[in-house]
Amino acid sequence: MQEELELNLEQLEKIVELVDKYIKQKGDCVILLQGDLASGKTTLVKNYVKSKSIEDLVTSPTFSIQTIYSNNIYHYDVYNKGLEEFISLGLLEEFEKEGVHFVEWGDERLEELLHSYGFNVITIKIEKKENKRQYIINA
């Protein structure tokens, strides 16, 4: 199923609600966030965490690779590492943990690998459009 929305950042709760709906349908899943620098990948994770009434500080895990928030919410950034190093660090096994796993910079290779292992995957492509963002969600 694919949905496409174009929203400004003040309307981000609509995307969060849609993502939450898919998570409830799929259960534990990996959400691949794709988009250019400053497209809003971390902002989406911040808003999702906030929607769960969690007050954890959400920042991009660019240098730490993984951050774990309350309520089994995981956040990864593979930008600096690449898929091979991500796997060699044992992080693929992290997806077996119960919860929702947000992966910034997750590409098609990672998506194929996750599907081959039987993980539930949602892909969100974010594109900057002036003062709005276009979200293409494949669930």
Q: What is the pLDDT of residues 50-61, one digit of tens each?
A: 999 999 999 888
Q: Whose structure tokens read 């496409």?
A: 4
Helix axes 12-26, 41-51, angle to 10 degrees: 70
Asked if 52 and 73 touch (Cβ cutoff 8 Å), the reply is: yes
Q: Judging by DSSP bridges, how do beta strands 73-77 and 66-69 pair with one another?
A: antiparallel
pTM (two decimals): 0.92
pLDDT in tens, 76-92: 998 877 778 888 888 88
Rounded CA-CA distance 120/59 in Å is 24
Token readout for 56 is 């954890």
